[in-house]
Amino acid sequence: MAANEVIEIAPHGDVLLLCSEEIENAKTIGLRVSSHVMSLASPVFRVLLAPKFREGVTLAAATTVDIPLPDNPDDMLVLCNVFHMRHDKVQPLLSANQLLRCAQLCDKYDCVMAMRPSFEVWVNVLAEVASLRELAILLTAMVLLGYQGLVASIGARLILDADGLIDDLVQPEQPKSVSICAELDKARLAYLLEASEIIENAVEFILYPDDGRDNECDWDCPATTRRVTRMIMKLREVELWPTKIRSKVLGEVVKTIEDLQVRDPRDLKFCKGIYCGHEEEEEIRSLESVSLEISGKAKALRSRVGQWGVGTVLQ
> Could you give the strand order of the β-sheet that contains 29-33, starting from the edge strand earlier in sequence?
5-8, 29-33, 15-19, 65-69
The pTM for the full model equals 0.85
Work out whether strand 29-33 and strand 15-19 pair parallel, antiparallel, or are unpaired.
antiparallel
d(CA 71, CA 15): 16
Alpha carbons 65 and 54: distance in angstroms, whole number: 10
pLDDT of residue 214: 47
DSSP line for 35-58: HHHHHHH-HHHHHHTSTTSHHHHH
- pLDDT tens string, the chain, 315 residues long: the values are 567 899 999 998 999 999 998 766 678 999 999 999 999 999 999 988 887 656 555 655 567 888 999 999 999 999 999 999 999 999 988 999 999 999 999 999 999 999 999 999 999 999 999 999 999 999 999 999 999 999 999 999 999 999 999 999 987 777 788 889 999 999 999 999 999 999 999 999 888 765 554 446 777 788 888 989 999 999 999 999 988 876 789 999 999 999 999 999 888 888 877 667 666 666 677 899 999 999 999 999 999 999 988 766 666
pLDDT at 143: 92
> From CA 87, how far away is CA 71, in angstroms rounded?
21
Cα 196 from Cα 209, distance rounded (Å): 19
> Would you say 268 and 184 are in contact if contact means Cβ atoms under 8 Å apart?
no
Tell me what pLDDT residue 275 has: 66
